[in-house]
């Protein structure tokens, strides 16, 4: 794991949350992107070495909508940058962590991503991410 790449925060409403985080972080949102496969809108803010990713569900039954229903708005996941996502997935699987999907998926912000089951990390949803070089 190289560093915390971003922290994902589940929000109900971008109209409200994007300007609020711009004010809080004192930096403009630099990218809004829809991830079709996850049915979410994402909004990114740079904060030094790390980013904040806001997540809004496009589907009332989607993972983010269900998360907010269960736990309310708030921190959804922590994403760690890795240099070789497949190697890191293999290492973690061998160490007993459950991967939520067997192959890296295309994620927001030009990344390959893989999520680990939160029950293996004291309730924290962990994302591995690696910059996509193929674009
Ligand atoms: Co993320």
Domain boundaries, the chain: 3-131
Check residue 133 and give its pLDDT: 84
Q: Under a CB-based contact definition with an 8 Å cutoff, are residues 51 and 58 in contact?
A: no
Confidence band (pLDDT; 50, 70, 90) for 134?
low
CATH number of 3-131: 3.10.180.10
Q: According to the model, what pLDDT value does residue 127 have? A: 97
Q: What share of the chain is helix, strand, coil (3-state, %, to 5)?
A: 30, 40, 35
3-class DSSP assignment, residue 116: strand
Q: pLDDT for 7-50, tens place per residue?
A: 999 999 999 999 999 999 999 999 999 998 889 999 999 999 99
**Rounded to the nearest whole angstrom, what is the distance from the C-alpha of residue 29 to the centroid of ligand 1?**
15
Q: What angle do CA 75, 2, 50 make, to 5 degrees?
A: 45
Q: If you measure from the C-alpha of residue 109 to the centroid of ligand 1, how many angstroms do you get, rounded to a whole number?
A: 9
- How far is C-alpha 20 from the geometric centre of its chain's CA atoms? 19
- Our CA angle for 131, 91, 122, nearest 5°, is 90
Taking 80 as the threshold, does the pLDDT of residue 103 lie above it? yes
Q: How far is the CA of 8 from the centre of ligand 1 (A)?
A: 5
Ligand 1 center from residue 85 Cα (angstroms): 14
- Centroid of ligand 1 to alpha carbon of 113 (angstroms): 8
What pTM did the predictor assign?
Answer: 0.93
pLDDT tens-digit series, residues 110-133: 999 999 999 999 999 999 999 998
| CA distance to 21, 60, 73, 92, per residue, from 53 (Å) | 10, 20, 13, 24
Helices (H), ranges, 1-135: 14-25, 63-71, 85-94
Mean pLDDT, residues 81-96? 97
pLDDT at residue number 82? 97
């Amino acid at each position: 794991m190289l560093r915390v790449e971003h922290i994902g925060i589940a929000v109900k409403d971008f109209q409200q949350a994007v300007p609020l985080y711009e004010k809080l972080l004192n930096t403009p949102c630099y990218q809004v992107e829809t991830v079709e496969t996850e049915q979410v809108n994402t909004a990114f803010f740079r904060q030094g070495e790390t980013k904040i990713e806001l997540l809004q569900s496009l589907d009332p039954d989607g993972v983010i909508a269900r998360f907010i229903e269960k736990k309310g708005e708030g921190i959804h996941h922590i994403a760690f940058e890795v240099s070789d996502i497949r190697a890191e997935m293999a290492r973690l699987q061998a160490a007993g962590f459950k991967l939520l999907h067997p192959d890296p998926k295309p994620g927001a912000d030009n990344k390959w991503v893989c999520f680990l089951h939160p029950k293996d990390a004291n309730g924290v949803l962990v994302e591995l991410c690696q910059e996509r070089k193929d674009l």
